[in-house]
Amino acid sequence: MPPKKRLSAARPEKTGAEPELVMPLRFGNDPLLWASWLYYEEGMTQGDIARTIGVSRATVISYLADARTRGLVNISIETEHLKTLSISKALKEHFGLRDCLVIPGEGGDRSLIDRLGAAGAQVLQGILRSGDTVGVGWGRTVLASAQALNIDNLQDVRVIQATGTTSSHVPFTPAACATKMAAAIRAECVPISAPAIVSSPELRDILTSEQLVKEQLASLDQLNCIVFGIASLRPNSTLHSSGFFHDDPKLRDAYSTAVGAIAGRYINERGKLVKGPLEDRTIGITLDQLARVKQRIAIAGGTDKVPAILATLHGGYVNILITDATTGLGILSADGKTGSIRPEKTVTEPAESIKRTRVKKFLNEPEDAVDESLEGAVLEYAQYLKPARKSNRALVAQDGPRAGKVGLVIGGGAGHDPYFYGYVGKGLADAVAIGNIFASPPPMPILECTRAANGGAGVVYLFGNYSGDILNFEMAAEMAKREGIDVRTVITTDDIASSRKEDRESRRGVAGNVFVFKIAGAACDQMLPIERVEELARKANRETYTVGVALEPCSMPETRRPTFLIGENEMEVGVGVHGEPGIARQPLVSANDTADIMVDRILAEMAPERGDEVALLVNSLGATPMMELLIIARRVRQRLKARNVQVARSWTGSYCTSLDMSGVSISMMKLDAELKALLDHPCNAASFQIR
């Protein structure tokens, strides 16, 4: 993609320009402006302009030059492209490459593989010459390059498959890549008529001494160009999915120092060959052979590939690299090279807002914030809760646990007030364990809650899907089980923006938890057995959908600085309750449009039928006032009405916050008769009552 000029410099053929001679008024008697306009906007040639305004061509040239010096004409290159240029220059210099092509990190609808493939095709177009012998590796990007390439004016080009073949349950096998590439450039294709990996070194020796295979492999010594991909050893890499690397613990041990693979050979972080049991069973180009090829083109992108690409660069196996801006920048910073690259100028972190002064807060000693606020909560909400033992980090409902009732224990990090203490009371949670700000409580307070909530019918743990919470609740559950308490765990995952639908289990738990607490608490209060409580909590979680949008980040008491930055005219759609990035950083839009973005996503996943009922929660992330929440809530209701979805019950206010984050989240739980009855069951807690 060529750099774009603000004034288009494309000059279509234009002949016979009519002499104007009288300068149109709009140019304000400035011949430089007139000439510039005709040249850059009208696309006329210098000769035509000379005739049009009645001066010599030499004068036109000097007009145009003066216009540039006087700043009348600015030629600008789009920021995104400028960034790719500076990254590719830095990569080229830092690693001593012959050349480097960096494509923009973001590319709209086209996948990274497709865009890298197109870039690979563009590079090959410029490099390949008649008579070349081209080695072709395999993988998604190599195949994408072959698919994007079409050259029909070369003669006597040969394409050599760089490795033996692999099983064909993926479309990008060595054979497919070589065949496609050969077809794209009208070349003769030389396959390797043997598997890439055989069962023993002896078999490899036998196969490679077969005349046909021997000749095919010998042609790998004649390559003057090779194009290949770089495999990462991450679990979802091509290498794993294509069965190249078996899921064999012995092999994994042998290759534990490998960070990547090229042409089926494993390399460590310095780019040295990792010798393992596969090495002597592999048929294909060796690393030494590869390093001798004059033009070594690697096409690879994606930040998970950074270690592998870096190793390939360190090993010197590539001298023409094609990657994307995000990966390129990652490679440079991973190799300790950051200084001379212009700081990545993204809209996400405008430099000026870094200078923002400390956020003002009502605090004494910042490290006492959590304990002091819990002290306040225990006093303020004494009618609902009390410490389980001595510490306010484990609070139990005044009117909750009772014999024969399943206990409900919730908890997590502080900073989400009135989460979680506001949901402790009759018909809701029996006890709550609270950690430090945004950090899980340790197992002991959770265990104290468990003991306090245990009425002999078992205890259900209910908390959001975060690694720290999972670990600590898991340990507490183990301890409780040793004490003979039956503990079940339900992890909430209502944040539909935190990962794809198919990946529901890895989603985070956010404000929609309130509904899950409510359903589980009601089930406990109705004295249902633990299996039912667990089942209903899971059902409530499954039916609950939340999307958040942040306008401003929150700031931690210790630092009093924003934990991340959102640009002046931006918002973060899909933000998490600790500032986790969401689906998109996008330009700020009106309240209605913001509500629509969120409702669209929720409805798309929830897919309610006409006449379905939902529970609705419009929640402030901390700093957003009621006025704005109600504007959003009004629009949400308009949308639901238009969809013929009934709002059975709704709440608007601060229910699950993120310190002082400015933003809103919308949660909906799709109701059936069972959930609706449980939702209507009375409850009485500091932040949530149904009478």
Partner 1 sequence: MKQVEIDDIVAFLREAATRMKEAADYLGQLDGEIGDGDHGYTMSRGFSAIVRALNEIDVQSHDMSTLFRSCAESFLEAVGATPGPLYASGLIAAGDFAGNRSALDADEALMLLVAISDGIGARGKAIAGDKTMMDVWLPVVQTIKNLRQENAPLEVILSEIRASASRGVESTRSMVAMRGRAARLGGRSLGHIDPGAASAAILIESFANTLEQRAL
Write out the residues near partner 1 by the rule CB under 8 A: 232-235, 253, 256-257, 259, 269, 303-304, 306-307, 310, 326-327, 329-336, 338, 435-436, 438-444, 467-468, 471-472, 474-475, 556, 558-559, 563, 576, 578-581
Q: Can the peptide bond before residue 473 be classed as cis, meaning omega within 30 degrees of 0? A: no
Q: How far is CA 142 from CA 229, 424, 475, in A?
A: 6, 57, 47
Nearest approach, Cβ of residue 373 and partner 1 (Å): 17
| Min separation Cβ 439 and partner 1, Å | 4
Tell me the closest approach of the beta carbon of residue 339 to partner 1, in angstroms.
Answer: 12
Helical spans, DSSP H, in 566-680: 591-606, 626-642, 673-680
Handedness of CA 356, 326, 100, 271 (dihedral sign): positive
Closer to partner 1 at the Cβ: 474 or 535? 474
Instruction: Closer to partner 1 by CB, 100 or 223: give it.
Output: 100
CB 440 to partner 1: min, Å: 6
Minimum gap (Å) between residue 233 Cβ and partner 1: 7
**Torsion on CA atoms 66, 71, 75, 78, rounded to nearest 10:** 170
Name the residue nearer to partner 1 (CB basis): 135 or 435. 435
> Are 137 and 163 spatial neighbours (Cβ–Cβ below 8 Å)?
yes
State which amino acid sits at residue 550: A
Given the complex with partner 1, which of 206 and 354 has the nearer CB atom?
Answer: 354
Angstrom distance (rounded) from CA 167 to CA 448: 55
Tokens of 276: 């393992």
Active-site choice (94, 169, 314, 578): 578
How far CA 623 is from CA of 78, 176, 368, 427, 636, in Å, comes to 36, 56, 22, 29, 20
Q: Find, among 526, 260, 579, the residue nearest to 408 by Cα.
A: 526
Based on CB atoms, which residue is closest to partner 1, 227 or 332? 332
Residue 136, token pair as written in the block: 């072709």
Q: Which of 284, 283, 285, 288 is nearest to 272 (CA)?
A: 288
Q: How far is the CB of 275 from partner 1 (least distance, A)?
A: 13
User: Phi then psi for 494, rounded to 5 degrees?
Assistant: -85, -15
246 in catalytic set? no
Rounded distance, CA 19 to CA 41, Å? 17
Q: Quick one: 335 or 486, whose CB is closer to partner 1?
A: 335
Task: State in angstroms the smallest separation of the CB of 555 from partner 1.
Answer: 12
The answer for residues whose C-beta is within 8 angstroms of residue 386's C-beta and 6 or more apart is 378, 395, 396, 398
Choice among 240, 246, 416, 681 that is catalytic: 416
81 in active site? no
- What is the DSSP-derived secondary structure letter of residue 381? T
Query: Considering beta carbons, is residue 274 or 629 the nearer one to partner 1?
Result: 274
Angle at Cα 570 formed by Cα 565 and Cα 574, nearest 5°? Answer: 80
Instruction: Please give the backbone phi and psi of residue 631, each rounded to the nearest 5 degrees, phi first.
Output: -60, -45
Positions annotated as catalytic residues are: 416, 578
